[in-house]
Amino acid sequence: MSAHLVVEVLEPATVAMQVAVALGHLAEESLGVSVAGRAVPVRQLVGEHGTRMHVVDAAPGVMVVDYAARVLGRGLGGETTEADLLRYLRPSRYCESDSLAPTARAEFAGLAGAGLLAAVSSWVGTRLAYVPGSSLPTDGAVRTLLARQGVCRDYAHLVVALLRALHVPARVVAVYAPGLDPMDFHAVAEAHIDREWLVVDATTLAPRASLIRIATGRDASDTAFLSAYGGTALLREVQVGAVADWLPGDDLDARVRLS
């Protein structure tokens, strides 16, 4: 797994990055950050479900971030508590489950368990068109449904909102996705069914069993790969790599865990 970011820092800023593979089994890993060609200190913060945030106090200049990891096995999704389940039932900024509750009840009445996940994934996948650049960073699930188009985070937000509206705990996960074309960071949903978290990817753009967890949260506000605070920073370049020893098939009716 790899990520290369070029960020133009226009004024001093605290830059937070979530590009590292979630805590788990890593054979080797490296992270380098430089501003104007000089290495700068990076501090690591560990969040929920193994999410790691790397933070830099960046001076003006061009900041270059290079991350690489070779992964053995999968990350640890983290312990699921009652507080987690309640948190992932609530509406959030990009997943307005309260607004979408009438739609969810009308479309999926009588469904439960894995059958409900398959139905929601198929419904979202057939009603949205995957159009790069079609959505704004501020778009949530309601706007996505009205526009009938979006990118992976929009698909994930709509899936999560519909599931929460049906009383199924659901969350968004940023992942590395071997097999994705064109390659980029990817976003999927996870739903809590039968005491386990199962992956739902309505885009069907990459095999679910090959996905590697980066960050987990309520929606994209928790899983963004780059954020800047207290100053101005512009993302100029992103290159993502994700290669697996082999790519499995993906039976869309199969129960797949992203552990």
Q: What is the pLDDT of residue 254?
A: 86
Q: What is the pLDDT of residue 40?
A: 94
CA 201 to chain centre: 11
The yes-or-no verdict on residue 63 having pLDDT over 70 is yes
Write b or e for each residue in 60-92: b if 16 or more Cβ atoms lie within 10 A of its Cβ, otherwise e. Answer: bbebbbbbebebeebbebbeeeeebeeebbebb
Whether the full predicted model's pTM is greater than 0.85, yes or no, is: yes
The yes-or-no verdict on residue 57 having pLDDT over 80 is yes
Degrees (nearest 5) of the Cα angle 238, 240, 242? Answer: 175
For domain 2-74+225-241, the CATH class is mainly beta
What's the whole-number average pLDDT of the chain? 93
Q: What is the pLDDT of residue 74?
A: 63
d(C-alpha 21, C-alpha 180), whole Å: 17
Break the chain into its structural domains and give their ranges: 2-74+225-241, 82-222
The predicted-structure confidence for 182-240, as pLDDT tens digits, reads as follows 999 999 999 999 999 999 999 999 999 999 999 999 999 999 999 999 999 999 999 99
d(C-alpha 119, C-alpha 107), whole Å: 9
Beta strand 149-150 with 129-130 is parallel
The yes-or-no verdict on residue 83 having pLDDT over 90 is yes
Q: Is 2-74+225-241's fold the same as 82-222's?
A: no
The yes-or-no verdict on residue 36 having pLDDT over 90 is no
82-222 in CATH: which number? 3.10.620.30
The predicted-structure confidence for 98-134, as pLDDT tens digits, reads as follows 999 999 999 999 999 999 999 999 999 999 999 999 9
Length of the chain as a residue count: 259
Q: What is the pLDDT of residue 108?
A: 97
Q: Which range, 22-36, 59-73, 146-160, is most confident?
A: 146-160
Percent of the chain with pLDDT over 70: 97
